[in-house]
Structure 1
Amino acid sequence: MLSPLLPLGILEKSTFADVPPDFRAAYQSILLAEANASLGKQSKQQNGDKMTPRNPATDLIHARVLGHLLKELFDNKSILGNKPARILVQKIGRLGNDSDEGIYDLGKVYRWILLRCFRCNRRNNLPSPEPLRSFDTLRGTVDDVLETTIDSEGAKKKALLRDGFRCTLSKAYDMKSCKQNNDLFMMAREAPDVGWVPTVCCPIIPDSTIEFFENGEKMSRPVGVLCARAFGLEDLDGTFSQANGIHDLRNVFTISEALYAFFDYLELWLENTKNPEQVNEYTICAHESWLIPKPYQKLIGQVVRFEVSDMVPSERKEEFSESLPDPRLLTLHAICARVMHMSGAENDADDSDICILANDGSDVQALQERLELVAMLSEIVAAR
């Protein structure tokens, strides 16, 4: 899937046919930086008090991260709106004369943002719901779940109910729920070729924080705020800034435990079909389908639809309909997966480095000094 950036002339006949001149100029700047890095042209970067040589191979990856990201954001404007691509174009336009080095550093910034938001810090804490209370009837289980509050555990249980106590991709029933409720067990046993499996509540954006420096003081924000501000999603900024905001049902869905790690590792993602009549319809995609466990390989390429289960009482249907997984978050996760694979950044990425970057502060400060105009953490994450 590794792919160089498409020439501007090709994009102008399709994706960029109607884009403003500054979009073309931004993409052209990225193409030039990509070309210089691919030729092995070695520039220098500030490292403390010294100027040290840059790595052309790494610079090439970061140029491609930026180029593929710009194209993907523009390609998905029907879901994301125009603002995410516009924000990126404005940042590129402010780089000035030091364009190549600025492109490489900005690509590094966005690579880090994408991986921090969509891949880092969840594998060590698999979010499996606590067992449901045991009831003789399905209605008893449903009523009990409806009474839970939206915290970490409540979100898991309500997502499980919304999704019909099933993996949203394979449609297999949740094993723990079947053990606790005989009605569910009978439904699972009678469903052809479905069965039951361990499931988890899968967050699109993980419940973690980002630490940064503002006016010399160490600050922290939820990673969800970083994502919302990086891509101009103001309503989600407000949601993720609130206590337990990351547990909003729009940020979670139920998935088989076997598929969870593949979604987290960006080996599996959901591409919106862009069907105007079915905004919650997605194609299941994989980087390399042979990596997916054999029982699930048949899912690749299939279309799934997120919808509220009939188990939700009719008087609560509207409430749950407004809490289906947010198409913008799933689209950004899909964009992150595609950009990482097309640019080669997934092979170059060191998770420990990505996570340490947020907590250590030294690399963040260097980026802020190097890119005053983009100032990722002061501009994107800092309180407004």
Structure 2
Amino acid sequence: MEKVDAYQPMSSDDKTASILRAFHTYLPENGRVNFLNHLDSLQINQQLHDHARSLIDGLVTPFISLRSTPSISPRLGMEDSIASVASESTGPIQIQDHLKVECLARDGNRCVVSGLFEEASVDRNSTEPITLTECVHIIPFSLASWHSRSENHAKDVIWTNLIRHFPTLETIRFTRENINDTANAMTMSFSLHRHFGRFDFSFEETSQLQKYRIQNHSPRMQMRLPRTVFFNWYDRRYDLPHPELLKVHAIIAQIFHASGAAEQIQKALYYLEGHCALAKDGSTDVSSILAATTLGVLASRGDNA
């Protein structure tokens, strides 16, 4: 990591060094080996900067927002790996309505975090606390769906990055073809789904099977989260959420917050989703918002810009 320590920032908001350190700190051991092997091949400042950007564009940001064709520049030497991933695809995956039914059956018609019952499953005269639930993918469904050749290629790059930095995915034979497996899904309330997708919290494995510690990455989040959750298995026809998939989400969440990328990405998403209006007096910090393009967020929404 001497190259990272010697890196010269290219601007005041250059997060290159913190991004690379976060990946080195939190990646699983087998993924860290691949990360360091490539880092050793980089020679100049610009290469380190470009690599940090490619890691955020092609691995972290896609877990949060991927609503149109992302702009991702794969690093040199990935061509064979991308081609291999592409050859295994049978085409874009479609949402399957039965997945929510299966997850509800397995999870006892409850949100796995809050324990509240799905509204539609409770008798109208019941006094049980209820909520509206959704079927939540751990590895996002958007990574297995596309509408154009360019978007397809971008997803191939993302999957190549995933496998390179999380080799265990190959060990458990998880690919985009398994995106709608119950092992990659769980029942969660509507509001908690949004927080989970934004890396506000994640699940950390404990020594007890199916018991997870809730890692709250956003202390300002208003919702009260339990310290631990236990995944009950009400219908054993359907697999429980796979620990390795939850681990991938948890590690990327840690990288997202530790790298310094979180603030820029969240600010750009807030602006792009229409919650931020430009001030009439011209005081809006547009340059700060546009700085997030270096992390690929605005590029991922380029079709709507």
Q: Could you state the TM-score of these two structures normalised by the residue count of structure 2? A: 0.70
- Say how many residue pairs are matched: 248
Query: 1:159 maps to which residue?
Result: 103
> Conserved in 2, the CA contact under 8 Å of 1:228 and 1:237?
no
Residues 99-147 of structure 1 show CA distances to partners (whole Å, capped at 9, x for unaligned) of: x32222211111123333421137xxxxxxxxxxxxxxxxxxxxxxxxx
Structure 2 equivalent of residue 281 of structure 1: 211
Partner of 2:101: helix, strand, or coil? helix
Change (3 A) 1:167 1:224: farther
Residue of structure 1 in register with 2:222 after alignment:
292
Q: Which residue of 2 aligns with 1:327?
A: 243
CA–CA distance in structure 2, aligned partners of residues 118 and 62 of structure 1:
20
Cα RMSD, aligned residues only: 3.3
Letter in 1 for 2:4: I
- The match for 2:3 among 26, 29, 32 is 29
Q: CA deviation at 1:94?
A: 1.7
Gaps of 5+ in 1: 1-26, 38-53, 123-149, 362-384
Identity %: 22
Map residues 1-384 of structure 1 onto 2, 5 A cutoff: 27-33=1-7, 36-37=8-9, 54-58=10-14, 61-73=15-27, 77=28, 82-95=29-42, 97-98=43-44, 100-121=45-66, 152-179=96-123, 189=127, 195-209=129-143, 219=153, 221=155, 225-226=159-160, 228-231=162-165, 232-235=167-170, 239-242=174-177, 245-273=178-206, 275=207, 277-278=208-209, 280-293=210-223, 297=224, 299-300=225-226, 302-309=227-234, 312=235, 317=236, 319-320=237-238, 323-349=239-265, 350-351=268-269, 353=293, 354=296, 357=299
Whole-Å Cα distance in 2 between the matches of residues 287 and 121 of structure 1?
21
* Structure-1 separation of matches of 2:135 and 2:37: 36
Contact 2:169 2:175 in 1 (8 A): no
For normalisation by structure 1, the TM-score amounts to 0.56
In 1: Cα distance, 2:141 partner to 2:22 partner: 27
Larger Rg: 1
Q: Distance in 1 between matches of 2:233 and 2:140?
A: 23
Change (3 A) 1:29 1:221: same
Deviation (angstroms), 1:360: 6.4
Does the CA contact (< 8 Å) of 2:59 and 2:162 recur in 1?
no
Shift of residue 165, structure 1, vs aligned partner: 0.6
Residues 203 and 331 (structure 1), Cα distance of their counterparts in 2 relative to 1, 3 Å cut: same
Partner of 1:283, secondary structure, is: strand
Which ranges in structure 2 are unaligned for 5 or more consecutive residues? Answer: 68-93, 273-292
Give SS of 2:153's match. Answer: strand
In structure 2, do the counterparts of structure 1 residues 344 and 359 end up closer, same or farther at CA, with 3 Å as the change threshold? closer
Q: CA deviation at 1:224?
A: 7.3
Q: For residues 57 and 359 of structure 1, do their structure 2 counterparts lie closer, same or farther at Cα, with a shift above 3 Å needed? A: closer
